[in-house]
Amino acid sequence: MVTGGTGLVGSAIKEVIDAEGNSEEKWVYLSSKDGNLCDPAAVAAIFDKYQPTHVIHLAAKVGGLFANMKHKVQFWRDNVNMNDNIFQECHKRGVQKLVSCLSTCIFPDKTTFPIDETMIHDGPPHFSNEGYAYAKRMVDVQNRMYKSQYGCNFTAVIPTNIFGKHDNFHLEDSHVIPGLIHRGFNCKKEGKSFDIWGSGKPLRQFIFSIDLAKLMIWTLRSYDEADPIILSVGEEDEVPISDVAYAVAKSLDANIGGTPLEVTFDTSKADGQFKKTANNHKLRKYLPDFKFTPFEEAMDITVKWFLENYETGGVRK
Ligand code: NAP
Ligand code: GDP
């Protein structure tokens, strides 16, 4: 059972599982229409209905830097409540494996780089997303407590920034890549310059949703530590936001044609955390040969998907 199965990561897991064509496993993908996971009774009813043996818990209150700054309390409460309900039901029902999802933006702000899995709790997170970060950090604590008290096989993955098809392309509250694709598309239509928020200097590692989906399915089937694992491209693939903006502009220009976008930077807007460089050495010990989709190729797939689905109303925005 995949909670949050209709979002960016859930849709990618579905795409990978459907392509596998494995008829021995039955996968269920939940959306908020199946019940509000903040409500313990709704979560119990979902477990009654599906009786899951394995759970990937993706559902979360998720947003980009600007949504996190505006709604810290909701980011804290929704995530703590959802996670607590899911952990409790998984334990009560004897679920064999639970994989939850953390994020590299929960790491300490003032730290040494690169960050690894042992450093999650070594100092406060960046103030901009503390509601989300502290709620997510508790998942790591819960995994260890449920293991030590009940012997549960619960764990978590730590992805870097994710992007791909079925993302939330909201103009203000989304993450940077979907936000820029949508804004760049509007700028092309209106013949305006393409304004990037902040200086463009912050550094990020991005993982394509399909790559993350493959790695999360591997985690579910083959990774049995309670301690979390970072799922990320290497440190050498960290890019400044300015490069992301140029890649978005290049792909929109190539796919739409017309006058090329002129990229500008609005330094009156926040930059957020400067960097959160994570190392993927643990992942590489397990899967030395895993191939990540090249960034520009993944960007082009995402932009094409956005353009194909925009007019039909298939884009969350
Ligand atoms: P997403 O696209 O925003 O999807 C969120 C999913 O959660 C949707 O299926 C949504 O259902 C469901 N959901 C939200 N609130 C719910 C509630 N109260 N009850 C039931 N379902 C609820 O999220 P995502 O980007 O795929 O994120 C998946 C996981 O990755 C999250 O745990 C997130 O913290 C983590 N993560 C994300 C990023 C990133 O860059 N996106 C980076 C690192 C980690 P509806 O569609 O019905 O609303
Ligand atoms: P973060 O990695 O958790 O900070 O999340 P984001 O995906 O929101 O990335 C934020 C970085 O991208 C910051 O440096 C922002 O200043 C920059 N950025 C530039 N334009 C945008 C935009 O349109 N939306 C968002 N969310 N961030 C933007």
> Ligand nearest 241 Cα, by number?
2
Active-site residue list: 132
- Given the candidates 3.40.190.10, 3.40.50.720, 2.40.340.10, 3.30.1780.10, the CATH classification of the domain at 2-162+205-234 is 3.40.50.720
Q: Can you give the pTM of this predicted structure?
A: 0.97
What are the start and end residues of each CATH 3.90.25.10 domain in the chain?
A: 164-204+237-275+294-309
Question: What pLDDT does residue 23 have?
Answer: 87
Residues 164-204+237-275+294-309: name the CATH superfamily: UDP-galactose 4-epimerase, domain 1 (3.90.25.10)
Question: What pLDDT does residue 190 have?
Answer: 96
Q: Which residues contact 46 (CB under 8 A, 6 or more apart)?
A: 1, 30, 34, 35, 37
What are the start and end residues of each CATH 3.40.50.720 domain in the chain?
A: 2-162+205-234
Q: Is 270 in the pocket of ligand 2 (CB under 6 A)?
A: yes
CA 20 to chain centre: 22
Rounded to the nearest whole angstrom, what is the distance from the C-alpha of residue 83 to the centroid of ligand 2?
25
Question: What pLDDT does residue 265 have?
Answer: 97
Q: Which ligand 2 atom is nearest residue 129's CA?
A: 3
> Ligand nearest 204 Cα, by number?
2
Amino acid at site 11: S
Question: What pLDDT does residue 22 have?
Answer: 86
CA 129 to chain centre: 14
Angle between helix axes 241-256 and 295-310 (nearest 10 degrees) is 50
Question: What pLDDT does residue 61 have?
Answer: 96
Closest protein CA for atom 27 of ligand 2: 176
Rounded to the nearest whole angstrom, what is the distance from the C-alpha of residue 179 to the centroid of ligand 2?
8
Rounded to the nearest whole angstrom, what is the distance from the C-alpha of residue 17 to the centroid of ligand 2?
30
HEC assignment per residue over the chain:
CEECCCCHHHHHHHHHHHHHCCCCCCCCECCHHHCCCCCHHHHHHHHHHHCCCEEEECCCCCCCHHHHHHCHHHHHHHHHHHHHHHHHHHHHCCCCEEEEECCHHHCCCCCCCCECHHHCCCCCCCHHHHHHHHHHHHHHHHHHHHHHHHCCCEEEEEECEEECCCCECCCCCCCHHHHHHHHHHHHHHHCCCEEEECCCCCEECEEEHHHHHHHHHHHHHHCCCCCCEEECCCHHHCEEHHHHHHHHHHHHHHHHCCCCCCEEEECCCCCCCCCCCECCHHHHHHCCCCCCCCHHHHHHHHHHHHHHHHCCCCCEC
**Mean pLDDT in runs of 10 for the chain (317 residues)?**
98 98 94 98 98 98 92 98 98 98 94 96 95 98 98 98 97 94 97 97 98 98 97 97 98 97 97 93 98 98 97 90
